Amino acid sequence: MSEFGQLPGQQFYLEITIGKDRYNPNNIQYLVIKEWIFNILPTIELQIIDEGYLTEVVPIEDATDIKIVLAKNEDDKNTKEMTFTIDDYNVGIQGDNRKSIVTISGHLKADNMFRSQGRSFSQQNSARVLEQIAIESKLKFSNPHNIVPSDSMTWHQSAKSNYDFIRHVIKRAYIPSDSMFCYINTENEFVITSLNSEIEKKDVKRAKFSVENSELNVKDDEDPDDTIWFNTYSIVNYSGYFNKRVGYGVGYAYYDLDGKEQFKEFSNIKKLTKLSFRNKKNVGDIFYYNTNTQDYVESNVYSEKYFESISRNHFLMDNFFANSVVLNVNALSQVNLMDTLDVDIPSLISREQSNKVMSGFYLVAGVQHEISNGGIYRKKIALGRNGMNESSAVKKYEVE
């Protein structure tokens, strides 16, 4: 964590409707909304102080809706509106037995997302399958980089909900030397994209450290590059876990559509940094999956790269997001999942310099919105990449 300060948050207008009834925002203890590229749906957790209203007058029912309106002030025309569906709740009675603490969790509302069904999508690629699910869920489908997967085949949704089937499709989607991502954001957009297309895009935002600017309640119109300001950060490293579990490449064995056993390996991945996670002792280590299957009926049931996709997609997703930086940013900052950020992290050695190792380009993997009692809004973003930059002492780390 940076020692230079703590982000107090900005004052925001908050409006909460549970079912059909407006709830007093002054009774809100905390409200957390999480967007994460691996979760598909944004989630909510809400804790409120209740005087029996939610347990005796209008008790919470299964699948009750929670509508959230968030704005800079009550007259703000640029409001953020979100509707969530309650998954679970817990009621704890305070010691004097006159008030209760209600903790609620849920997910962003999407039609037909969790109803189990059986059907097939004949001779379609994964993008077309996901687009159809988005349309029937009444979500805005977005394919910003025009991803066209090479996996045309028959997709079987056998007694699966759309939510589980989306995960099934993403795991098996095939884009050459790439991996598909799919998530729904708080703007009700059903987004599909790919790792390489996000790495290669030209649109980049800047993130800089500043206690003063991160506390501004009004956007500075004189800011020339619309910088995202932060004043605390933490560094999270999963590369050791990744390397012990997967290694530096993935191998897989399977029976092809002619019944012949095949062996393949994959270890190539793009990066945003000069140094990868390669360790000289482990270079060349391959983790092998053992995938044996002959349960096909016709050749069009599986795409040609079906088995490769299962192994490679898992490897690419884990590898790239094994190194993360979490920033506490100004709540007014406009940050979206998969944005590319050029982050300038201050040095702990010299306040006049930058941390050259951890600074640089990242992809936004998560956005967390936190609203506490009194409407204090804080925003955290989780950034990911698959390496770091060179220090003054380390000139060559990667071994080819």
User: For 369-383, how does the pLDDT look when each residue is reduced to its tens digit (9 = 90+)?
Assistant: 998 877 788 899 999
**In the structure encoding, which two tokens stand for residue 302, read together?**
């599986």
Nearest to 207, CA basis, from 227, 224, 222, 226: 227
How far apart CA 173 and CA 129 sit, in angstroms, is: 10
pLDDT at 280: 59
Q: Is the pLDDT of residue 37 over 60?
A: yes
Which stretch of DSSP H or E encloses residue 21?
Answer: strand 21-23
The residue-averaged pLDDT of 236-248 equals: 73
Q: Is 293 exposed, middle or buried (0-12, 13-18, 19+ CB in 10 A)?
A: exposed
Domains of the chain listed by start with CATH number: 10-108 (2.40.10.10), 117-196 (3.55.50.10)
pLDDT at 311: 80
pLDDT band at 223 (very low <50, low <70, confident <90, very high): low
pLDDT at 103: 94
% helix / strand / coil in the chain, to the nearest 5?
A: 15, 40, 45
pLDDT at 220: 56
Residue given tokens 């506390």 in the structure block = 215
Q: Is the pLDDT of residue 300 over 70?
A: no
Q: Is the pLDDT of residue 218 over 70?
A: no
List helix spans (H) across the chain.
126-136, 162-172, 195-200, 211-214, 239-245, 306-320
Beta bridge partners of 103: 47, 90
The pLDDT tens digits of the residues spanning 66-97 come to 999 988 888 887 888 999 999 999 999 877 77
pLDDT at 295: 44
pLDDT at 175: 92
The pLDDT tens digits of the residues spanning 307-342 come to 788 888 888 888 888 889 999 998 888 899 999 999
Q: Is the pLDDT of residue 226 over 70?
A: yes
How far apart CA 56 and CA 177 sit, in angstroms, is: 57
Answer whether 47's CB lies under 8 Å from 102's CB: yes
**DSSP structural state of residue 128:** H
Q: Is the pLDDT of residue 361 over 90?
A: yes
Residue 189 CB coordination number (10 Å):
16
Computed over every residue of the chain, the mean pLDDT equals 83
pLDDT band at 395 (very low <50, low <70, confident <90, very high): low
**In the structure encoding, which two tokens stand for residue 86, read together?**
């309650």
Nearest to 274, CA basis, from 360, 179, 363: 360
> What is the three-class DSSP state of 83?
strand
List of residues 6+ apart from 376 with CB closer than 8 A: 8, 9, 10, 11, 12
pLDDT at 6: 41
How far apart CA 30 and CA 177 sit, in angstroms, is: 42
Bigger pLDDT: 379 vs 242: 379
The single-letter code of the amino acid at 348 is L
Q: Is the pLDDT of residue 159 over 80?
A: yes
How far apart CA 149 and CA 151 sit, in angstroms, is: 6
pLDDT at 130: 97
Q: Is the pLDDT of residue 297 over 50?
A: no
Which stretch of DSSP H or E encloses residue 252?
Answer: strand 250-255
Q: Is the pLDDT of residue 250 over 80?
A: no
Q: Is the pLDDT of residue 200 over 90?
A: yes
**DSSP structural state of residue 27:** G
pLDDT at 289: 55
* pTM, rounded to two decimals: 0.86
Bigger pLDDT: 29 vs 394: 29
Answer whether 162's CB lies under 8 Å from 115's CB: yes
Q: Is the pLDDT of residue 188 over 50?
A: yes
pLDDT at 304: 72
Bigger pLDDT: 303 vs 28: 28
Answer whether 324's CB lies under 8 Å from 384's CB: yes
Bigger pLDDT: 393 vs 279: 393
Q: What is the dihedral of CA 170, 172, 175, 180, to 10 degrees?
A: 20
